Amino acid sequence: AQTVTQSQPEMSVQEAETVTLSCTYDTSESDYYLFWYKQPPSRQMILVIRQEAYKQQNATENRFSVNFQKAAKSFSLKISDSQLGDAAMYFCAYRSPQGGFQKLVFGTGTRLLVSP
Amino acid sequence: EAGVAQSPRYKIIEKRQSVAFWCNPISGHATLYWYQQILGQGPKLLIQFQNNGVVDDSQLPKDRFSAERLKGVDSTLKIQPAKLEDSAVYLCASILGPGSKTQYFGPGTRLLVL
């Protein structure tokens, strides 16, 4: 079974600075998807960024980018120019591409604190 | 487009009582998921529907939890009887179909069992 590990329970960053959230995963599959989801306090979970394992190029979405190291099974999220609105729980998630069992396997999350 | 809707947003019950949650996925989304998110943990899949059929319910505690999606649209998740350890946020998510990549989540129902 696939597992996802987020070793940083909490991270802090100042506005305008850069922060990196770590994620490692374990799988025997060669093709899969990886996601970072953001969950603000008492608000719904929204997708931040997605990476397909077959793509070597790291995904980027505005201030958010990933460092995908397939051999190391590492998938970190970099947030540049941090804003107060970035404060939230961030979850790393894994999904197999095949078949109908497309459930997401989540890590335990990293709480990001952003200070002025 | 409207997002995934869930109700109620909050529910407080005593142990051994029953409770039901409702989810309305994004229009046209064939696949629907229920996740349980216990405080301090990531969401864990309880059950997955494809249209009105169950695809995966291996993690659903079937002695107390049940779910249905009768017409392949709305879904309800029921707990009867509730236990203290059922206190969690119950998230509903939907996806267009098997070839789609991204799940869209509802705001969740926060359940507290006293």
Mean pLDDT by 10 residues, chain B (114 residues): 90 97 94 93 93 90 94 94 96 85 91 97
Paired residues of A113 in beta bridges: A12
Q: B98 and A91: CB-CB below 8 Å?
A: no
Picking from B25, B38, B47, the residue whose alpha carbon sits closest to that of residue B96 is B25
How many CB pairs (< 8 A) connect A and B?
Answer: 56
Take residue B72 and report the two structure tokens written for it. Answer: 């392949």
Mean pLDDT of chain A: 92
> DSSP letter string over B27-64?
TT--EEEEEEE-TTS--EEEEEEETTEEEE-TTS-TTT
CATH fold group of domain A3-115: Immunoglobulin-like (2.60.40)
Spatial distance between the Cα atoms of A63 and A60, rounded to a whole number of angstroms: 8
Which domains, ranges and CATH numbers included, belong to chain B? 5-113 (2.60.40.10)
Pairing between strand A110-115 and A10-14?
parallel
pLDDT at site A101: 60
Annotated domain spans of chain A = 3-115
B101 touching chain A per CB within 8 A:
yes
pLDDT digits (tens, 9 = 90+) for A18-61: 999 999 999 988 889 999 999 998 778 999 999 999 888 999 99
Q: Does B99 contact A at CB distance below 8 Å? A: no
